[in-house]
């Protein structure tokens, strides 16, 4: 009980004093996660939409695979990325291991299936609504995908938000590929793991509350954006 109270107090002080370390770590968390999210969305939105629009023989298999990939254990993703990026691995020459780029790569792999799968579900419904019209208008595949992405952008925001939530709270993979280096690859989740390791539960909890607040803030902002978007709508 006193641990929680101390945690709250620690979080409070960290925030009101704008602790330089906390700001740096939080910004890095946001940078890594938002970069990974942006890249993941570039792949996942068209992929999920394409799966909703295109009929092909292995479509069901592809969707099932996508859903299965949502459950990829981050630790395993981290390990595989680590082995690939290690100096003794195939992409070692790039020297990316233990850099924020490596963390972004791992997170892209973790969240792309999730975002694509949610996109697919949302787009399947919109496609059912639009199907006859878009077929009648002789749209090309590309035009259909673009129309669906544009008109379904609000649900895509939800998909992106789910991806953000998974990425920002992830620790297993980025700990392995980032190395939790102070001032280089330390983010909120790995810092929490570190402070827990030191037995400093108050600071760990404090960072944890900051993490939760960050996730909430992003969620509220996107919700607010979609509200604005809904004004003057049905």
- Chain positions contacting another protein, by CB under 8 A: 27-28, 30-32, 34-35, 38, 86-89, 92, 95, 97-100, 129-130, 132-133, 135-139, 143, 147, 151-153, 179-184, 194, 196-202, 225, 228-229, 231-234
CB 103 within 8 A of CB 71: no
CB 66 within 8 A of CB 111: no
Kindly state the smallest distance separating residue 20's Cβ from another protein, in Å.
Answer: 13
Kindly state the smallest distance separating residue 83's Cβ from another protein, in Å.
Answer: 9
CB 158 within 8 A of CB 137: no
Instruction: Name the residue among 37, 34, 86, 173 with its Cα closest to residue 189.
Output: 173
- Rounded to the nearest 10 degrees, the angle between the axes of helix 20-53 and helix 201-230 is 50
- Rounded to the nearest 10 degrees, the angle between the axes of helix 59-70 and helix 20-53 is 160
Which residue number, 66 or 205, has a Cβ lying nearer to another protein? 205
Q: What helix, strand, coil percent values describe the chain, rounded to 5? A: 80, 0, 20
Kindly state the smallest distance separating residue 68's Cβ from another protein, in Å.
Answer: 28
Kindly state the smallest distance separating residue 182's Cβ from another protein, in Å.
Answer: 7
SS3 184: coil
Which residue number, 68 or 137, has a Cβ lying nearer to another protein? 137
Kindly state the smallest distance separating residue 189's Cβ from another protein, in Å.
Answer: 15
CB 43 within 8 A of CB 160: no
Which residue number, 153 or 223, has a Cβ lying nearer to another protein? 153
Q: Quote the CA–CA distance of 120 and 199 in Å, as a whole number.
A: 43
CB 167 within 8 A of CB 37: yes
Which residue number, 34 or 80, has a Cβ lying nearer to another protein? 34
Which residue number, 77 or 160, has a Cβ lying nearer to another protein? 160
Q: Specify the residue for token string 């980025």.
A: 174
Which residue number, 184 or 217, has a Cβ lying nearer to another protein? 184
Kindly state the smallest distance separating residue 197's Cβ from another protein, in Å.
Answer: 3
């Amino acid at each position: 009980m006193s641990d929680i109270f101390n945690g709250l107090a620690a979080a409070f002080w960290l925030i009101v004093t704008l602790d330089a370390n906390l700001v740096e770590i939080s910004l890095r968390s946001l940078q890594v996660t938002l970069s990974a999210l942006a890249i993941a969305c570039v792949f996942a939105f068209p992929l999920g939409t394409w799966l909703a629009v295109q009929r092909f023989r292995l479509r069901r298999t592809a969707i099932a695979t996508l859903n299965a990939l949502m459950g990829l254990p981050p630790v395993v993703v981290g390990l595989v990325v680590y082995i690939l990026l290690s100096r003794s691995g195939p992409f070692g020459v790039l020297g990316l291991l233990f850099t924020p780029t490596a963390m972004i790569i791992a997170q892209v792999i973790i969240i792309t299936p999730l975002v694509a799968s949610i996109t697919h579900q949302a787009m399947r419904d919109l496609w059912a609504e639009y199907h006859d019209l878009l077929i009648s208008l002789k749209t090309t595949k590309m035009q259909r995908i673009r129309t669906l992405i544009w008109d379904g952008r609000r649900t895509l925001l939800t998909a992106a938000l789910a991806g953000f939530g998974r990425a920002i709270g992830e620790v297993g993979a980025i700990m392995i590929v980032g190395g939790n280096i102070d001032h280089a690859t330390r983010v909120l989740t790995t810092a929490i793991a570190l402070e827990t390791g030191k037995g400093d539960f108050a600071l760990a909890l404090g960072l944890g509350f900051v993490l939760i607040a960050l996730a909430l803030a992003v969620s509220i902002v996107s919700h607010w954006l979609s509200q604005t978007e809904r004004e003057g709508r049905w």
